[in-house]
Every structure is written in structure tokens, then in C-alpha cells.
Amino acid sequence: MLENIIGAKSKVKILREMMQTDDREYCLEDLVKATGQSFGTVHPSLNSLVDSRMVLVRKIGKSKLYRVNRRHILYEKIKELMLEERNRFITIAKEFSDGLKKRNIKNIILFGSVARGDFGEKSDIDLLVIYSRRKPQEDVDTHVGTLLDKYDVAIVPVFLSVSEARNRLRKSDQFMLNALEEGKVLYGDAGWLGK
């Protein structure tokens, strides 16, 4: 049963999306867009999930709507595993953040796929680090390397000074807008950023 449900990356991506909003119904096109996969990948994977009863299908005229089956015997365990996976990434990001707190840091914001919840097996942890005076580069590389060795997950910090962050916000810089919109503040008060 389990191999039919989680036998392919495409199925995991579909389930990850559907379990984030487990009361929502999706059409096939919604899942293609949300998972970033092709129609030719999503369609057979979705049919396999329907066959295993992990996903339910409802017909409305010629259209089909899909939703995750919350009563499936493995639903709770799979959802718990997916939440644990996301929480693990966040824990690693917080550990990185804790190692930088005393180095004139104003804010640390988690952004990217982990913050959005659409990460995959090769995702890294993207962090926006806003510093007050001097860029804390000395042992940051060592800290990143230590965490990579410990967890086998890459951490990608993007450093900006307070003035750089303000200037980029003033110019409606797309990177800054996206990082703040999807981001999760791990350290500091980001009120000055409009977060």
C-alpha cells in the first residue's frame, strides 16, 4: 500500500500540496501549476493516488475535482511525516539563526521553498540576514559548514545591511518583496520592514 502512495517524487509533491489545504478540491490544472510538474507527470500520478484511495475524485459534468482522503488509513501518518519534515528544516534554520544572534544582526528571515512549504529533497534553506553595522562573515562559513555536515542540508544566507534592505524596499525590489511576503521571521522585530 505504501509503495503505491509514496512510490514517486511526483506523488509526494501532489500529496504535500493537497495536505497543506486538506479541505480544498483541486482540478488537474491546479495541481500541475501548484506542483510545478507537467501534465504528463501529474495525471498518471494522480490516477495512481486515486486508485490507492489516498485521493478522492468527484465529477462535475466533464470536470473532475480531487481532494485528499482524510479518512485514509495512512493519512494522519503521512501528514505527520510531512509536517515533521518541514519542522526539521525550520529547526535547522533556527539553529543557524541562534549561532548568529550575537553578531550585530537585526533580522533573520527564512524565505524560499521551506518558508512556502513547497520544498523537496534537494531544497536548501534560504535565509535573509540583515545586519546593523558590519557583515558577520568571519565564522559564518564555518557555521554553515558545520550544519551542512550535521544535517546534510545546504544553508544559503543572503546578507544585506539595514540601509541596503531599506533601499531595496523603497525601490520595490522583487527579491525583497518576495522574501518578506513568503518569509518567516526567525530573529528580530521585522516591523520596520513592514512584516
Write the CATH number for 3.
Answer: 1.10.10.10
Residue 156 lies in a domain: yes
Q: Note whether 56 and 130 are same-domain residues.
A: no
Range of the domain at 65: 1-72
* 101, amino acid identity: K
Average pLDDT over residues 5-25: 88
73 pLDDT exceeds 90? yes
CA distances (Å), origin 168, targets 84, 152, 192: 34, 32, 13
Three-state DSSP at 63 gives: strand
Name residue, grid cell 509526494: 12
33 pLDDT exceeds 70? yes
User: What's the pLDDT at 138?
Assistant: 64
Q: Note whether 118 and 182 are same-domain residues.
A: yes
Rounded to the nearest integer, the mean pLDDT of the chain is 88
- The percent of residues above 90 in pLDDT, for the chain, comes to 55
Residue 78 lies in a domain: no
Residue 77 lies in a domain: no
Q: Which range, 56-70, 79-93, 133-147, 153-167, has the best average confidence (pLDDT)?
A: 56-70
Query: Which of the listed residues 48, 72, 96 is the one where a domain comes to its end?
Result: 72
Q: Note whether 61 and 100 are same-domain residues.
A: no
Query: Which of the listed residues 49, 72, 95 is the one where a domain comes to its end?
Result: 72
1 pLDDT exceeds 70? no
DSSP string, 85-123: HHHHHHHHHHHHHHHHTTTTEEEEEEESHHHHT---TT-
With bands split at pLDDT 50, 70 and 90, how would you rate the model's confidence at 6? confident
**Lowest mean pLDDT across 2-6, 24-28, 85-89, 190-194:** 2-6
Residue 192 lies in a domain: no
With bands split at pLDDT 50, 70 and 90, how would you rate the model's confidence at 65? very high
Domain count, the chain: 2
Query: Which of the listed residues 72, 99, 126 is the one where a domain comes to its end?
Result: 72
Q: Note whether 131 and 170 are same-domain residues.
A: yes
Q: Maximum distance among all alpha carbons in the chain?
A: 63
Residue 79 lies in a domain: no
With bands split at pLDDT 50, 70 and 90, how would you rate the model's confidence at 26? very high
Q: Note whether 141 and 109 are same-domain residues.
A: yes
Residue 44 lies in a domain: yes
Average pLDDT over residues 41-70: 96
pLDDT of 123-163, one tens digit each? 899 999 998 877 766 667 788 888 888 988 899 999 999 99
Residue 81 lies in a domain: no
User: What's the pLDDT at 136?
Assistant: 67
Distance separating alpha carbons of residues 114 and 93, to the nearest angstrom: 10
Q: What is the CATH number of the domain that holds 102?
A: 3.30.460.10
Distance separating alpha carbons of residues 125 and 151, to the nearest angstrom: 12
